[in-house]
Structure 1
Amino acid sequence: MTREAHRHGAINLSQGIPDVDEAPAEIKQAAKDAIDAESQYTITWGLPDLRESISERYADWKGVDYDPETEVTVTTGTSEALVSTMLALAEPGDEVVYFEPVYESYIPAVRFAGAEPVPIDITDTLELPEERLEAAAEDASILVLNTPMNPTGKVFTREELERIEEIVFEHDLLVVTDEIYEHIVYDDDYLSPVEVGDLAARTVVCTGMSKTFSVTGWRVGFCLAPEYLSRELRKVHDYTTICAPTPFQRAGVKALSLPESYYTDLSDSYEERRDVLCEGLEEAGLDPVVPDGAYYVMARYPTDESDAEFSRRLVREAGVAVVPGSSFYTDEDAESGWVRFTFSRDEETIREAVNRLQENRWW
């Protein structure tokens, strides 16, 4: 859809790419300075200073102590963190459970490992389906959690995470969490799964710099996990990407020194843009699901077109690019009846997109 946006001169609200001036100036300067000083490999699992900074940050914030020497791994983006973890921990034939609509990369990651994807559809309510999870967990080895979720913006509640913890220990599951949107949340009750009970003892946290600091192209991710899990994922990481880009790792040390106000301002800014987009979509005759986190909105449209047809027509006739909702389901023939917008762009761009939708609607 990004290519379609370029082809038709459309506003791209498909791919979750922040505008160029979103990244803090001080961390961009730190990267520029590091290019002159540090252009060779780091230790494969990451610059020691960065691992120390990650460990301190997550101990202060989430209350979980990770040893920077053995339990923190810097990866080439969060996507690599997820794939390396899956290749390391999933055996051929294992069942891996996740909730959908789902970030599409999980599906090939599971298949690359020779494991079997087991999707649980939560489209209707976006609530934890306890009975279906319990049934799926009986034969599964790994549960993948994404909170806040891409594409729906769902944030799992404390009660849901507590029930998940019970099921995980009852059925001896490992947990892989994708928490890349952890600082883009609109509710003070947000919790990381590792803050609940003893989940940290059997969980790999995958996160990174991309979304929090608006540097999606720098490819610096973090894996935090107990030593017995870190030891295995490091084997895969070492022989795939060797190490994340050195200058951007150095900039990560600077990024993690930013004050708490940075994170508050970040979520406040996205909340304002979320509201502009959701209100505009409603006025345009679409039906958005207001997200609790991340920077995406799923919206239903009132026509009989497939989501792919609606998306193609939208980019051609309204000049706005979105992602068909079926992209976020395991079934390749799924027709979801909704599409995904991102509000990672600046407010002016979002308002222009909303105007185009309102002026060029055919639904």
Structure 2
Amino acid sequence: MPNPPSISRPIGSERVTGMRESVIREMTREAHKHDAINLSQGIPDEDETPARVKQAAKDAIDTSSQYTITWGLPEFRQVIADQYADWKGVSYDSETEVTVTSGTSEAIVSTLLSLCDPGDGVIYFEPTYESYIPAVQFAGGTLIPLDITDGLEIDPDALQAAAEDASILILNHPHNPTGNVFTPSELELVADIATAEDLIVVTDEIYEHIVYTDDYVSPVEVDGLAERTVVCTGMSKTYSVTGWRVGFALAPEPLSAELRKVHDYTSICAPTPFQNAGVEALSLPDDYYADLSASYERRRDKLYDGLRDVGLDPVKPDGAYYMLTRYPGDLDDTEFALRLIREAGVAAVPGSSFYTEGTADWVRFTFSRNEATIDEALDRLAQNRFW
């Protein structure tokens, strides 16, 4: 092992000050260490991936293992544009307005690094997916969290006040970690305020095909939003390929041109074989998406009922595959989550990881696993209850 560096100045740039390992990934490591069932990180089981999509990736390794064009395989970008015109009614030029990225997280970071200047205010709704906070910090932006924990609704006055000091708004829809689906009227409010205050909107729509309500619409379907919005989404959740790291950003050409600059000099291109498989994935029939939501809805109901049976207080989500769950007692959320892993053999994520600061009185479970695994997790919770 090398000696510690003899560097006299402080190590680490200002942009990473105060950051730590992702709590979600930490909980996964703890789950592995203690042989716990991992209901912390949204990792589907391997057999969730459509067989024809996996086969397309295997075939592409033999023929297509070199760089693609930086913005992505042309035929993949075209099928993305075609599908989003069909799904959302918004037309994107595959040459200039669709960029294939190394996961949705890269799409978000590239967007913020290219469109956020130091000091620019960035609004996001808390609880929030934990990577938005460091992404804003990387860009030098000013964090403007708006708490929606109680009621999971957007406060119009709070949003208006925040927008007056902001340049960008991040909207995760369906929402992680709560599974909330914002109503069409809330999205219209966002559109009105974003237009009035000239905000750029960054939407994370990675769970767009995992919804359990007829109320869901994409933000870009709301009048006035598509022209100022970068849509960040990808293959990970819809096709159960979280390790392939294939995302995409769709945006009007002036916004796309900027985010492509960061993407070009950081990622170069997303993995080529998996882009080829993406052409196959986005060609799946419509019933695939209906079956996907129906399957997760069954698992949602199973986990919801099971958590209530063991004395916890879950909130039933309308989208995504996570469940916010309150618990009795005085333990802080991190201690409760660690005891779940070590004593009950089930991993969840402490709620505080989804806030800029402070603690929370809840944890987040995922129901991305198969029904047999969820059953086993619930059995462990029932047999090893300490709350």
> TM-score, normalised on structure 2?
0.93
- In 2, the alpha carbon distance for the partners of 1:294 and 1:263 equals 13
Secondary structure in 1 aligned to 2:43? coil
Alignment counterpart, residue 343 of structure 1, candidates 357, 367, 370: 367
Q: Which amino acid aligns with 1:156?
A: F
Shift of 1:253: 0.2
Whether the aligned pair in 1 keeps the contact of 2:39 and 2:365 (CA below 8 Å) is: yes
Deviations 1:154-202 (Å, cap 9, x if unpaired)?
1111010011111101111000000000000001221000000110000
In the alignment, structure 1 residue 21 sits paired with structure 2 residue 47? yes
Whether the aligned pair in 1 keeps the contact of 2:107 and 2:232 (CA below 8 Å) is: yes
In the alignment, structure 1 residue 288 sits paired with structure 2 residue 334? no
Secondary structure in 2 aligned to 1:272? helix
Deviations 1:195-243 (Å, cap 9, x if unpaired)?
0011000000000000000000001001000001000000000000000
- In 1, the alpha carbon distance for the partners of 2:136 and 2:56 equals 36
Report the counterpart of residue 166 of structure 1 in structure 2: 192
Shift of 1:92: 0.5
Report the counterpart of residue 234 of structure 2 in structure 1: 208
Report the counterpart of residue 206 of structure 2 in structure 1: 180
In the alignment, structure 1 residue 69 sits paired with structure 2 residue 83? no
For 1:1-363, what aligned pairs fall within 5 Å after superposition?
A: 1-331=27-357, 334-363=358-387
Unpaired runs of 5+ residues, structure 2, are: 1-26
Q: Which amino acid aligns with 1:16?
A: G
Shift of 1:356: 1.0
- In 1, the alpha carbon distance for the partners of 2:386 and 2:165 equals 47
Secondary structure in 1 aligned to 2:91? coil
Shift of 1:358: 1.3
Whether the aligned pair in 1 keeps the contact of 2:195 and 2:224 (CA below 8 Å) is: no
- In 2, the alpha carbon distance for the partners of 1:135 and 1:351 equals 46
Q: Which amino acid aligns with 1:353?
A: A
- In 2, the alpha carbon distance for the partners of 1:4 and 1:98 equals 29
Secondary structure in 2 aligned to 1:239? helix
Shift of 1:45: 0.4
Q: Which amino acid aligns with 1:227?
A: E
- In 1, the alpha carbon distance for the partners of 2:280 and 2:340 equals 41
Q: Which amino acid aligns with 1:192?
A: S
Q: Which amino acid aligns with 2:364?
A: R
Deviations 1:124-164 (Å, cap 9, x if unpaired)?
11011111000000010000000001100011110100111
Secondary structure in 1 aligned to 2:261? helix
- In 2, the alpha carbon distance for the partners of 1:9 and 1:115 equals 39
Q: Which amino acid aligns with 1:3?
A: R
Secondary structure in 2 aligned to 1:278? helix
- In 2, the alpha carbon distance for the partners of 1:91 and 1:314 equals 41
- In 1, the alpha carbon distance for the partners of 2:199 and 2:134 equals 20
- In 1, the alpha carbon distance for the partners of 2:103 and 2:360 equals 29
Q: Which amino acid aligns with 2:267?
A: T
- In 1, the alpha carbon distance for the partners of 2:33 and 2:86 equals 46
Q: Sequence identity of aligned pairs in percent? A: 72
Secondary structure in 1 aligned to 2:153? coil
- In 1, the alpha carbon distance for the partners of 2:244 and 2:386 equals 40
* Root mean square deviation of aligned Cα: 0.5
- In 2, the alpha carbon distance for the partners of 1:289 and 1:323 equals 15
Shift of 1:262: 0.2
- In 1, the alpha carbon distance for the partners of 2:91 and 2:327 equals 46
- In 1, the alpha carbon distance for the partners of 2:236 and 2:344 equals 29
- In 1, the alpha carbon distance for the partners of 2:260 and 2:35 equals 43
The structure 1 segments of at least 4 consecutive aligned residues displaced by more than 6 Å after TM superposition are none
Number of residue pairs the alignment of both structures matches: 361
- In 2, the alpha carbon distance for the partners of 1:98 and 1:359 equals 39
Whether the aligned pair in 1 keeps the contact of 2:43 and 2:368 (CA below 8 Å) is: yes
